[in-house]
Structure 1
């Protein structure tokens, strides 16, 4: 009898593994990209039970029901803000050629914000200088300060911002701060204690605690970086509130844009929405959305994206812009794991005669992502895409330019995490002069980069190619 039992347990385990595999052949392909489906099915084929455990935890990019219910109330919560934005005389369609004219319409359909004119934008490539500018603007705040950052540390950079917020509260300025629970986990207790002790309203975004009924999933994060001061000044881009060398292995190079004008109202609306999702507090729209004044000539638009916006993936916009390009595409990102649609769009753009550049970072902070990223180089190089590897720092900046007419800068990487799992925000600017400034920054990247030679890349070792392609198969899960 014991022998039969000994034989039956291995058989039962084997049957259970095949039952899981066959079941997932039916479940996995539903509402999932072919790339993601292949990654999950491969995982299930080799390790059915571990894959099932991971799938239960993170298999679907959906927030808990309580958060989805709260998001369903968002149209009513944001109605006063949207009405204010739509009533401003700054609504203006960008002056674009026919091949790009639908970009603004696409952004509005995805994110529900119209394009607004009368804005001014300034690029901030200096890391410490960006922190100094944010601090200076907080010190001039009269009404309110809103900060939303994936990482908020209590190091030198973070303390400078904390001290500015304390001074603002002492002047009677309302200060509200949102920080991602996972991104800021190393510093959050100290940052929150310092801010709360000074009267700053601060909340952790998407806290993870398996013992709590409303715990968030660890892989669904708020990756946005937004600062809004008095509803008149806004910041967006790639930089967090943390020292550039917070990771001992690398030093970050970032790019942020400081904006004034009506477009700040759209950044404000993104913050107000996230504040409601975390606190269920409806902020006073009349106090936070002042009548905008024109400060420049730039037409701009904000696109929020993430699991809360199932139709608002930033990848749709990037793909559409690349398909619309006629002369030049430059994409800068630290993490490049494209879906098939974007990969084909880039290759097709080259075939149409478009000059396509991809600016990536030679120093890396995520080894597996870097390996998966390298697996795409051969195909891109063969198609004619030029790949530049920034030498000295981790180029963490995230932006692109299309035909010297459209610029996109924000928090989103070109990978499945930013496309599907993270809450991101992108600022799109339709302006030749701003595009020229961003192009100057890109040229500096080119000068500080090594261009990947197609022939040299082809000659790399078989072992390297094998490891990279194994990582690529797992890329939909990264």
Structure 2
């Protein structure tokens, strides 16, 4: 019997080391940054068995065969729809300013989406303002409502939104709601999911999480967009999930979540509607296109453009990352960034540092308390080299600052769903708006200044006196930053 146990032990070790060797070769042969490859090799070798399982679950961008095939088949038809936007009077290349013109060229060449003029923008900054505005627009909907969110959490005014959708469906409005399975797990287990379905709302669970899918699709690939489109006339996007912050994560110890949404009217609404149609088809296989925006509209000479920038599996790789770096490279005076999760790639970190080193005022506003302990420590691992490069860091103490925004030269801004981390910029389904509207941008910058007024600015001397305990955890989680 001892010989049998000895043989089984040796056989198990041999199989394990063959598996480790195979995964190692796979990691090395994959074309990605050296830091990501080294981080995964460290996980595989330091954490026996579990490291290999983690790599199969999270190590590669695997959308799943069915969704990947759909996305491949969809690209040309959607590309044709996007390219038609170039024929609209809303696309006015001559009116594009210095900041957005190169972004227009980039997005047009890579995905076919041009920057469009003739829009109106309303920056909404409080939960009650946002949710009541959404409810009112839903109550006035005539034909269709399209939604996609990462999180829908029951409670408060979020329940009023669900009720408004039910009433809209009952009066004949076509309502389609796509929610991420992981982010909206609580909602799908609540009575609201059944009520919506029972009353004619098409409710779809995106990127379903279940144990048997572990080796079929990367489980941490998430639908992170936040879009509402009503009658193809009104749209919302921004950082806020479908939650009432007064009822959401109250026991997490980070305070109330601080978010924004942008209410949009004009030609850009149709583009946001098309992004929802893309997500809907990836998940369900059902194809539909919104109507093209009205192309014979008169565009005021001072009408500033909006560029819709989507990213995610099946779309051109790294598009939002490219837009972000292009915007910072064009900054002449200032760059102000708000993000809840700051874990940049090595390349993006160098872009931020170089922007500050060439004399541009770079300010970073992040929450003092974070709902992710790993992200909190990993973020602080970058403080020293950022401050040495001239970046000013402000830690917001008024809650969990969840707003994702970048303001360039107080004239141009990026707002949307994108965090400054690898997950948002390289993995998830995300969306950002590039806006070249001085009035809107100044409003956005004023909000950022308000965040700074509720922040503690990190002092270099004080930072250097932090404890060895803090330094230890910063270094530990810094090693894992390519995987966060």
| Short-chain TM bin | over 0.9
Q: CA deviation at 1:436?
A: 0.8
Name the structure 1 match of 2:26.
27
| In 1, Cα distance between equivalents of 2:278 and 2:134 | 22
Aligned to 2:274: 269
Q: Which residue of 1 aligns with 2:335?
A: 329
Q: Deviations over 1:304-325 (max 9, x none)?
A: 1112225244222212211221
Higher mean alpha-carbon deviation, 315-324 vs 250-259, is at 315-324
Q: Which residue of 2 aligns with 1:220?
A: 221
Report the TM-score when normalising by structure 1.
0.93
Scaled by the length of structure 2, what TM-score is found? 0.92
Partner of 1:252: 257
Distance 1:174 1:100, change over 3 A: closer
Q: Give the whole-Å Cα distance in 2 for the aligned partners of 1:213 and 1:455.
A: 47
Question: In structure 1, how many angstroms separate the alpha carbons of the residues matched to 2:476 and 2:296?
Answer: 52
List alignment gaps of at least 5 residues for structure 2: none
Contact 1:253/1:397 (8 A) holds in 2:
yes
**Which of 347, 351, 356 lines up with 1:350 in the alignment?**
356
Shift of 1:455: 1.2
Residue 417 of structure 1 pairs with residue 418 of structure 2? no
Supply the distance in 2 between the matched residues of 1:42 and 1:90 (Cα, whole angstroms). 51
Deviation (angstroms), 1:420: 2.0
Match of 2:287 in 1: 282
Contact 2:63/2:313, CA 8 A, preserved across alignment: yes
SS where residue 281 of structure 1 aligns? coil
Structure-2 separation of matches of 1:4 and 1:212:
35
C-alpha separation in 1, matches of 2:216 and 2:15: 30
Task: Work out the CA distance in 1 between the residues paired with 2:205 and 2:432.
Answer: 22
Cα offset for 1:25? 4.2
The more displaced of 180-189 and 25-34 is 25-34
> What is the aligned residue count?
476
Mapping 1:85-164, distance limit 5 Å: 85-93=85-93, 95=95, 101-164=101-164
Contact kept? 1:331, 1:400, Cα under 8 Å: yes
Match of 1:78, SS? helix
Deviations 1:398-421 (A, max 9, x none): 010112232111111011111122
How big is the shift at 1:394? 0.2
Counterpart for residue 307 of structure 2: 301
Q: Deviations over 1:172-193 (max 9, x none)?
A: 2211111111100011143321
Aligned partner (choices 373, 377, 380) of residue 367 of structure 1: 373
Per-residue CA deviation, residues 205-238 of structure 1 (Å, 9 max, x unaligned), is: 1112234799754211100000011111111100
Kept after mapping to 2: 8 A contact 1:405/1:431: yes
Q: Does 1:233 align with 2:229?
A: no
Once residues 337 and 63 of structure 2 are traced to their aligned partners in structure 1, the CA distance between those partners, rounded to angstroms, is 30
What secondary structure, in the 3-state scheme, does the structure 2 residue paired with 1:369 have?
helix
Question: Are the counterparts in 2 of residues 303 and 426 from structure 1 also a CA contact under 8 Å?
Answer: yes
For 1:331 and 1:386, how far apart are their aligned partners in 2? Answer: 10
Q: Which residues in structure 2 correspond to 1:8-27 (within 5 Å)?
A: 19-20=18-19, 22-27=21-26
2 CA distance for matches of 1:370 and 1:110?
Answer: 34
Cα distance, 1:343–1:168 mapped onto 2, change above 3 Å: same
> Aligned pair in 2 of structure 1 residues 178, 97: CA closer, same or farther (>3 Å)?
closer
Matched, 1:379 2:385: yes
Unmatched tracts of structure 1, length 5 or more: none
2:72 is matched with 72
Which residues of 2 match residues 302-317 of structure 1 at below 5 A? 302-317=308-323
Does 2:86 match 1:53?
A: no
The 1:34–1:138 alpha-carbon spacing in structure 2 relative to 1, beyond 3 Å, is same
Residue deviations 1:27-74 (CA, integer Å, cap 9, x gap) = 213222222112101112212422111111221012111111111121
Change in 2 beyond 3 A, CA 1:173/1:291: farther
